[in-house]
Structure 1
């Protein structure tokens, strides 16, 4: 192969790789936009996680024993109680 053909293939390969990297996105995966309005029983909750700091609203995602993910406001007293209960039970 000629040098220009190899150079052209390298440029084309670089362009394809940069397109793939841009398509992945680097934004947060889980954000809470509308928190669940009602109180939940802590015996139904298996675990929780906090939303990413890049989300517009802070939130907690409660995971039920059936695997359902529910967004809630982490500043509510009953949510704090559930998170504390889960933290204490995992030790």
Structure 2
């Protein structure tokens, strides 16, 4: 009887630890699945960053001066112009 309780406690402890380690997976934090379809004014953008290489689609995340995050396709010419403008204005 006592052995069964110890075994049950071990199984429950293992299940609790495995659920914690599964929820703490290491992966990309920000991925974009649907890029914003319209052009944006470059003066509204304060910064940008590119998504992680492990995301299914490569994207740029533009951060507005009001703190909003907008996913866009980095291969578009207007997005490249915005990123260049932000890079030049940061110097």
* TM range, smaller chain: 0.7 to 0.9
Residue 58 of structure 1: aligned partner: 58
The unaligned stretches of length 5 or more in structure 1 are: 1-11
Q: TM-score, normalised on structure 1?
A: 0.79
Cα shift at 1:19 = 4.2
Q: TM-score, normalised on structure 2?
A: 0.79
Q: Distance in 2 between matches of 1:55 and 1:89?
A: 28
| Matched position secondary structure for 2:38 | coil
CA RMSD of aligned residues (A): 2.3
1:4-15 equivalences in 2 (<5 Å): none
1:13-50 Cα distance to aligned partner (Å, 9 max, x none): 78755543332111211111000000000000010000
Q: Distance in 1 between matches of 2:16 and 2:87?
A: 45
Moved over 3 A (4+): 12-19
Residue 40 of structure 1: aligned partner: 40
